[in-house]
Copies of this chain bind each other. A is one copy, B any other.
Amino acid sequence: MITYSHIPELRSALNASREKKKTIALVPTMGYLHDGHLSLVKKAKSENDVVVVSIFVNPSQFGPNEDFVRYPRNIERDTELANHAGCDILFNPSVEEMYPAGFSSYAVVEDISTVLEGKFRPTHFKGVTTVVLKLLNIVQPRIAYFGQKDAQQCVVISKMVNDLNLQSEISIVPTMREMDGLAMSSRNVYLNSEERKNAVVLNQSLQLAEKLIRNGERNPALIINEMMNMILSKNPTSIDYIEIVGSNDLEKKNTIENDETILIPLAVRFGATRLIDNIIIHV
């Protein structure tokens, strides 16, 4: 595995691989790698010759009062984990490399960026789509891999790739979970032991929703209410949202129809830590 911090050197290496007809994959991350990230790397490696993992804590996707500064970082550990999972090239640029002085160009996806996470983090997706577009342009991968845990991010990025005619394919990989069902996240390290225990309720509430739907419940309001009661019993600081939406258009469902695919995303705070999770259900 080779690490690059500068775009021109990375591009030269990738062009050499392309000359040799190697297929190139990209796994964009903010580092502090966990098994969720590593499952993307392994899948990428099983489907491509050269796997590029980017590690870049992207300032433009954090709001002014969010956790950019204290976001966990450990490049030494990440290097070892990425290498072991099959990464060929680690791309670890500085903020100045990605956003040089005077930077002023952005990719924006309207509509679906303003709901759910977008309501609570109004500038978040502009930062996400911009950095992902940059990384796709720099690496020009055949396939880029994203985790289903960030469900709205997956929808927004797929929309951007489609609308803007990018030539990379987007592959969405299922969420990896801890033994007790908590979705893996770099932010889980923020949780104290009490919060960590309570956070399991998020996945449990999603399981409850699926069970209700499988048993024939078709009223979103009722399902959300049951989920809320369950989560509230574990003393969250706040529930930012629980919604039942179309899995592609993120539009709120008034009723659930047979044969459709719905997404139930949620964002809940335990202590100061904001966690997200979701489930996709083919009804």
Contact = CB atoms under 8 A, between A and B. Distances in A.
A32 to B, nearest CB: 24
Interface of A: 7, 11, 102-112, 129-130, 133-134, 137-138, 140, 159-160, 162-167, 249
Contact of A104 (B104, B133, B137, B159): B159
B159 A105 contact: yes
Nearest to A103: B163
A166 B137 CA distance: 6
A162 B102 CA distance: 11
Given A104-B111, A105-B108, 5 more contacts: A7-B165, A105-B107, A106-B109, A134-B164, A138-B165
Contacts of A129: 105
A79 B133 CA distance: 34
Top 7 A-B residue pairs of the complex, sorted by shortest distance between their CB atoms:
A105-B163, A137-B165, A104-B110, A105-B109, A105-B160, A104-B111, A138-B165
A107 B164 contact: yes
Contact of A163 (B11, B104, B112): B104
A109 B160 CA distance: 16
A160 B104 CA distance: 8
Given A104-B111, A108-B106, A159-B105, A133 B164 contact: yes
Q: Which among A102, A140, A159, A162 has the greatest number of chain B C-beta atoms within 10 A?
A: A102
Q: Which among A105, A159, A166, A167 has the greatest number of chain B C-beta atoms within 10 A?
A: A105
